[in-house]
Amino acid sequence: MPQLYPVHKIRDKEILEKFGTNLKVIRKEKGLTQEELAFRSGLALSQIARIETGRLNSSICTLITIAKALQIEPGELLKAM
């Protein structure tokens, strides 16, 4: 019996993976390691790592905190989503 996966769960997974990829690309463009971004943002390194691998559904406040740490517009983290 195949495992049934609710549609919105699949959609959420795709959203979070895309957000994670956007974050990783921009972080690298800025020449920052995950540790440096964690330090700048005040977030835990493990949180940054889980966000980048699409395993964390962060909040809007966390998204704004990350955008400020990267000195970018928050919308840049949501490109092509």
Q: Does position 72 bind its own copies by CB under 8 A?
A: no
Identify the residue among 25, 32, 45, 63 touching its own copies (CB under 8 A): 63
The torsion angles phi and psi of 67, rounded to 5 degrees, stand at -60, -40
| CA–CA dist 55, 9 (Å, integer) | 12
- Which CB, 25 or 74, lies closer to its own copies? 74
* Unique residue bearing structure tokens 């919308």: 75
Asked whether 26 and 66 are in contact (CB, 8 A), the reply is: no
Site for its own copies in 16-55 (CB under 8 A): 16, 19, 42
Question: What sign results for the dihedral spanned by CA atoms 58, 64, 69, 74?
Answer: positive
60 binding its own copies? (CB under 8 A):
yes
Q: What is the contact surface with its own copies in residues (CB under 8 A)?
A: 8, 11-12, 15-16, 19, 42, 57-61, 63-64, 73-76, 78-79, 81
